[in-house]
Structure 1
Amino acid sequence: MTAITWVLAADGSRARIFETQGLKLDLRQVEDFRNPAPRTAETAEKDRERFARTVADFLERSRLHQRFDRLRLAVEPRFLGLLREHLSSETRKLVYEEVDRDVSNMDARDIGRHLDRP
Protein backbone atom coordinates (compact mmCIF):
# COMPACT_ATOMS: atom_id res chain seq x y z
CA MET A 1 0.00 0.00 0.00
CA THR A 2 1.32 3.43 -0.96
CA ALA A 3 1.82 5.89 1.88
CA ILE A 4 -0.26 9.05 1.91
CA THR A 5 1.77 12.24 2.09
CA TRP A 6 0.29 15.55 3.15
CA VAL A 7 1.88 18.83 2.14
CA LEU A 8 1.17 21.86 4.31
CA ALA A 9 1.62 25.20 2.52
CA ALA A 10 1.09 27.97 5.08
CA ASP A 11 1.77 31.45 6.38
CA GLY A 12 0.20 33.36 9.26
CA SER A 13 -3.03 34.04 7.40
CA ARG A 14 -3.63 30.93 5.29
CA ALA A 15 -2.89 27.21 5.55
CA ARG A 16 -3.58 24.79 2.72
CA ILE A 17 -3.20 21.04 2.97
CA PHE A 18 -2.63 18.89 -0.08
CA GLU A 19 -2.60 15.12 -0.38
CA THR A 20 -0.58 12.90 -2.67
CA GLN A 21 0.31 9.23 -2.89
CA GLY A 22 3.84 8.42 -1.83
CA LEU A 23 6.43 11.08 -2.58
CA LYS A 24 4.95 12.20 -5.90
CA LEU A 25 3.91 15.80 -6.19
CA ASP A 26 0.55 15.21 -7.84
CA LEU A 27 -1.17 17.41 -5.25
CA ARG A 28 -4.88 17.40 -4.46
CA GLN A 29 -6.10 20.02 -1.98
CA VAL A 30 -7.97 18.60 1.03
CA GLU A 31 -8.22 21.67 3.32
CA ASP A 32 -7.93 25.45 3.13
CA PHE A 33 -7.83 27.36 6.44
CA ARG A 34 -7.86 31.12 6.73
CA ASN A 35 -6.97 33.06 9.82
CA PRO A 36 -10.21 34.91 10.66
CA ALA A 37 -8.46 37.61 12.68
CA PRO A 38 -8.16 41.11 11.25
CA ARG A 39 -4.60 42.07 10.41
CA THR A 40 -3.53 44.73 12.86
CA ALA A 41 -0.06 45.37 14.27
CA GLU A 42 -0.91 44.95 17.96
CA THR A 43 -2.82 41.67 17.59
CA ALA A 44 -0.91 40.12 14.74
CA GLU A 45 1.42 37.92 16.79
CA LYS A 46 -1.33 36.62 19.11
CA ASP A 47 -3.53 35.86 16.12
CA ARG A 48 -0.70 34.08 14.30
CA GLU A 49 -0.07 32.03 17.45
CA ARG A 50 -3.75 31.08 17.70
CA PHE A 51 -3.84 30.20 14.01
CA ALA A 52 -0.71 28.02 14.39
CA ARG A 53 -2.45 26.18 17.22
CA THR A 54 -5.56 25.66 15.07
CA VAL A 55 -3.51 24.20 12.20
CA ALA A 56 -1.47 21.99 14.57
CA ASP A 57 -4.66 20.72 16.23
CA PHE A 58 -6.11 19.80 12.84
CA LEU A 59 -2.91 17.94 11.91
CA GLU A 60 -2.98 16.12 15.25
CA ARG A 61 -6.62 15.02 14.83
CA SER A 62 -5.88 13.94 11.27
CA ARG A 63 -2.84 11.94 12.40
CA LEU A 64 -4.96 10.20 15.06
CA HIS A 65 -7.49 9.29 12.35
CA GLN A 66 -4.61 8.01 10.18
CA ARG A 67 -5.40 10.37 7.31
CA PHE A 68 -1.71 10.68 6.39
CA ASP A 69 1.54 8.78 6.85
CA ARG A 70 4.06 11.54 6.09
CA LEU A 71 4.08 15.29 6.26
CA ARG A 72 5.96 17.89 4.21
CA LEU A 73 5.94 21.46 5.47
CA ALA A 74 6.33 24.41 3.08
CA VAL A 75 5.77 27.22 5.54
CA GLU A 76 6.76 30.88 5.86
CA PRO A 77 9.74 31.00 8.29
CA ARG A 78 8.15 32.95 11.18
CA PHE A 79 4.98 30.88 11.05
CA LEU A 80 7.00 27.64 10.84
CA GLY A 81 8.54 28.44 14.22
CA LEU A 82 5.10 28.98 15.78
CA LEU A 83 3.74 25.82 14.18
CA ARG A 84 6.63 23.68 15.47
CA GLU A 85 5.83 24.79 19.03
CA HIS A 86 2.31 23.36 18.74
CA LEU A 87 2.93 20.10 16.89
CA SER A 88 2.92 17.02 19.09
CA SER A 89 6.06 14.90 19.17
CA GLU A 90 4.16 12.11 17.39
CA THR A 91 3.14 14.42 14.56
CA ARG A 92 6.65 15.90 14.33
CA LYS A 93 7.99 12.36 13.81
CA LEU A 94 5.97 12.18 10.58
CA VAL A 95 7.56 15.36 9.16
CA TYR A 96 10.18 14.29 6.66
CA GLU A 97 10.85 17.66 5.03
CA GLU A 98 10.58 21.33 5.99
CA VAL A 99 10.89 24.10 3.42
CA ASP A 100 10.92 27.53 5.04
CA ARG A 101 9.28 29.40 2.16
CA ASP A 102 5.81 30.82 1.75
CA VAL A 103 4.09 29.00 -1.09
CA SER A 104 0.58 29.21 0.40
CA ASN A 105 -0.82 31.39 -2.38
CA MET A 106 0.56 29.35 -5.28
CA ASP A 107 -1.64 26.92 -7.16
CA ALA A 108 -1.10 23.18 -6.62
CA ARG A 109 0.98 22.73 -9.78
CA ASP A 110 3.34 25.59 -8.86
CA ILE A 111 3.70 24.27 -5.31
CA GLY A 112 4.61 20.88 -6.72
CA ARG A 113 7.19 22.41 -9.05
CA HIS A 114 8.59 24.56 -6.25
CA LEU A 115 8.99 21.58 -3.91
CA ASP A 116 10.49 19.43 -6.64
CA ARG A 117 13.51 21.76 -6.94
CA PRO A 118 16.73 20.83 -5.16
Structure 2
Amino acid sequence: MSPNWILVCDAARARLFVASDRKSAWAEVAGYANPELRGPVTARNSGRTVPRTQESVGSARHVIEPRESRKDRSARSFARHIAGELQDARAHRRYARLFLVAPPRFLGVLCDELGDLKAAGVAGTLGKDVVGLQAETLAQHVRAAFPRDFAMEPKRPAA
Protein backbone atom coordinates (compact mmCIF):
# COMPACT_ATOMS: atom_id res chain seq x y z
CA MET A 1 0.00 0.00 0.00
CA SER A 2 1.29 3.45 -0.88
CA PRO A 3 1.86 5.87 1.99
CA ASN A 4 0.18 9.18 2.69
CA TRP A 5 2.12 12.34 1.95
CA ILE A 6 1.76 15.55 3.92
CA LEU A 7 3.10 18.68 2.22
CA VAL A 8 3.57 21.64 4.55
CA CYS A 9 4.64 24.78 2.74
CA ASP A 10 4.49 28.51 2.21
CA ALA A 11 5.74 30.72 -0.62
CA ALA A 12 9.35 30.44 0.58
CA ARG A 13 9.80 26.78 1.53
CA ALA A 14 8.13 23.39 1.61
CA ARG A 15 8.54 20.27 3.73
CA LEU A 16 7.31 16.84 2.67
CA PHE A 17 6.42 14.21 5.25
CA VAL A 18 5.47 10.54 4.76
CA ALA A 19 3.16 8.52 6.99
CA SER A 20 2.90 4.84 6.13
CA ASP A 21 -0.33 4.35 8.10
CA ARG A 22 -2.70 6.17 10.47
CA LYS A 23 -0.65 5.61 13.59
CA SER A 24 2.92 5.66 12.32
CA ALA A 25 5.40 8.42 13.04
CA TRP A 26 6.05 10.86 10.24
CA ALA A 27 9.33 11.00 8.41
CA GLU A 28 10.46 14.19 6.68
CA VAL A 29 11.67 13.01 3.28
CA ALA A 30 12.16 16.19 1.24
CA GLY A 31 12.53 19.91 1.53
CA TYR A 32 12.19 22.61 -1.10
CA ALA A 33 13.22 26.25 -0.98
CA ASN A 34 12.30 29.26 -3.05
CA PRO A 35 15.62 31.14 -3.25
CA GLU A 36 13.93 34.37 -4.35
CA LEU A 37 12.00 34.58 -1.07
CA ARG A 38 14.59 33.11 1.30
CA GLY A 39 17.47 34.87 2.98
CA PRO A 40 18.08 38.49 3.91
CA VAL A 41 16.47 41.26 1.90
CA THR A 42 19.81 42.39 0.46
CA ALA A 43 20.40 38.92 -0.93
CA ARG A 44 16.98 38.81 -2.59
CA ASN A 45 17.63 41.49 -5.17
CA SER A 46 15.37 44.00 -3.44
CA GLY A 47 16.37 46.90 -5.67
CA ARG A 48 13.08 47.69 -7.31
CA THR A 49 13.31 48.72 -10.90
CA VAL A 50 9.92 49.55 -12.33
CA PRO A 51 9.19 50.56 -15.89
CA ARG A 52 8.38 54.20 -16.52
CA THR A 53 6.72 56.01 -19.35
CA GLN A 54 7.42 59.48 -20.67
CA GLU A 55 4.56 61.97 -20.88
CA SER A 56 3.89 62.96 -24.50
CA VAL A 57 3.91 66.66 -23.55
CA GLY A 58 6.39 67.91 -20.98
CA SER A 59 9.00 66.11 -18.93
CA ALA A 60 6.77 64.16 -16.55
CA ARG A 61 7.46 60.45 -16.12
CA HIS A 62 4.95 57.97 -14.71
CA VAL A 63 5.50 54.59 -13.12
CA ILE A 64 3.87 51.61 -14.79
CA GLU A 65 2.84 49.15 -12.12
CA PRO A 66 3.24 45.49 -13.04
CA ARG A 67 0.07 43.37 -13.08
CA GLU A 68 1.69 40.82 -10.80
CA SER A 69 4.23 41.69 -8.14
CA ARG A 70 7.65 40.06 -8.12
CA LYS A 71 6.76 38.26 -4.89
CA ASP A 72 3.52 36.86 -6.34
CA ARG A 73 5.29 35.80 -9.53
CA SER A 74 7.95 34.02 -7.48
CA ALA A 75 5.31 32.30 -5.33
CA ARG A 76 3.44 31.10 -8.43
CA SER A 77 6.67 29.78 -9.96
CA PHE A 78 7.49 27.93 -6.72
CA ALA A 79 3.97 26.47 -6.59
CA ARG A 80 4.32 25.34 -10.21
CA HIS A 81 7.59 23.57 -9.34
CA ILE A 82 6.06 21.81 -6.33
CA ALA A 83 2.94 20.86 -8.32
CA GLY A 84 5.13 19.33 -11.03
CA GLU A 85 6.98 17.23 -8.46
CA LEU A 86 3.69 16.07 -6.92
CA GLN A 87 2.14 15.22 -10.28
CA ASP A 88 5.21 13.19 -11.22
CA ALA A 89 5.06 11.32 -7.91
CA ARG A 90 1.35 10.65 -8.40
CA ALA A 91 1.99 9.31 -11.91
CA HIS A 92 4.54 6.88 -10.45
CA ARG A 93 2.13 5.95 -7.60
CA ARG A 94 4.52 6.93 -4.84
CA TYR A 95 1.66 8.10 -2.60
CA ALA A 96 -1.95 7.11 -2.09
CA ARG A 97 -3.27 10.34 -0.62
CA LEU A 98 -1.89 13.84 -0.28
CA PHE A 99 -2.61 16.39 2.42
CA LEU A 100 -1.74 20.04 1.77
CA VAL A 101 -1.03 22.48 4.60
CA ALA A 102 -0.21 26.08 3.68
CA PRO A 103 -1.27 29.66 4.38
CA PRO A 104 -4.62 30.30 2.67
CA ARG A 105 -3.25 32.56 -0.06
CA PHE A 106 -0.44 30.20 -1.08
CA LEU A 107 -2.75 27.19 -0.71
CA GLY A 108 -4.99 28.74 -3.36
CA VAL A 109 -2.05 29.29 -5.71
CA LEU A 110 -0.84 25.70 -5.17
CA CYS A 111 -4.31 24.27 -5.78
CA ASP A 112 -4.58 26.31 -8.99
CA GLU A 113 -1.27 24.87 -10.20
CA LEU A 114 -2.30 21.31 -9.31
CA GLY A 115 -5.53 21.63 -11.28
CA ASP A 116 -7.94 18.80 -10.50
CA LEU A 117 -7.33 18.06 -6.81
CA LYS A 118 -9.06 14.69 -6.94
CA ALA A 119 -6.84 13.55 -9.83
CA ALA A 120 -3.79 14.76 -7.87
CA GLY A 121 -4.82 12.55 -4.95
CA VAL A 122 -5.48 15.45 -2.56
CA ALA A 123 -7.43 14.07 0.39
CA GLY A 124 -7.50 17.28 2.42
CA THR A 125 -6.29 20.85 2.70
CA LEU A 126 -5.58 22.98 5.74
CA GLY A 127 -5.14 26.74 5.45
CA LYS A 128 -2.60 27.38 8.24
CA ASP A 129 0.90 28.81 8.29
CA VAL A 130 2.75 26.12 10.26
CA VAL A 131 5.77 25.37 8.06
CA GLY A 132 8.21 26.74 10.66
CA LEU A 133 7.01 24.54 13.52
CA GLN A 134 8.76 21.47 14.86
CA ALA A 135 7.63 18.20 13.28
CA GLU A 136 5.83 17.00 16.43
CA THR A 137 3.84 20.23 16.82
CA LEU A 138 3.05 20.28 13.14
CA ALA A 139 1.77 16.70 13.32
CA GLN A 140 -0.54 17.69 16.18
CA HIS A 141 -2.10 20.44 14.04
CA VAL A 142 -2.64 18.09 11.12
CA ARG A 143 -3.99 15.26 13.30
CA ALA A 144 -6.46 17.67 14.89
CA ALA A 145 -7.60 18.88 11.45
CA PHE A 146 -7.94 15.36 9.97
CA PRO A 147 -8.90 13.07 12.87
CA ARG A 148 -10.32 10.33 10.59
CA ASP A 149 -7.13 10.12 8.57
CA PHE A 150 -4.54 10.36 11.35
CA ALA A 151 -4.87 8.77 14.78
CA MET A 152 -4.47 11.16 17.65
CA GLU A 153 -1.67 10.28 19.99
CA PRO A 154 -3.08 8.91 23.24
CA LYS A 155 -3.06 11.46 26.03
CA ARG A 156 -1.17 10.51 29.15
CA PRO A 157 -3.32 10.37 32.25
CA ALA A 158 -2.67 13.01 34.86
CA ALA A 159 -0.87 11.61 37.88
Q: TM-score w.r.t. structure 1 length?
A: 0.88
Cα distance change, pair 36–70 in 1 and its aligned pair in 2 (3 A):
same
Contact 1:9 1:74 in 2 (8 A): yes
Whole-Å separation in 1 of the counterparts to 2:24 and 2:127: 18
Contact 1:60 1:88 in 2 (8 A): no
Task: Trace 1:1-118 onto structure 2 (pairs within 5 A).
Answer: 1=1, 3-24=2-23, 26-37=25-36, 38=44, 40=46, 42-89=69-116, 90-91=119-120, 94-118=121-145
Query: Identity over aligned residues, as a percent?
Result: 30
Over 2 Å off, 4+ runs? 22-25, 38-42
Task: Give the structure, 1 or 2, with the largest relative contact order (CA under 8 Å, sep 6 or more).
Answer: 1
More strand per residue: 1
- Extract unaligned runs of 5+ from structure 1: none
How much has 1:25 moved relative to structure 2?
5.9
Q: Please give the root-mean-square deviation of Cα atoms over the aligned residues, in Å.
A: 1.8
Whole-Å separation in 2 of the counterparts to 1:28 and 1:50: 26
SS in structure 1 at match of 2:131: coil
Answer with 1 or 2: which has the greater Rg.
2
Cα distance change, pair 7–109 in 1 and its aligned pair in 2 (3 A):
same
Whole-Å separation in 1 of the counterparts to 2:77 and 2:114: 13
- Extract unaligned runs of 5+ from structure 2: 37-43, 49-68, 146-159
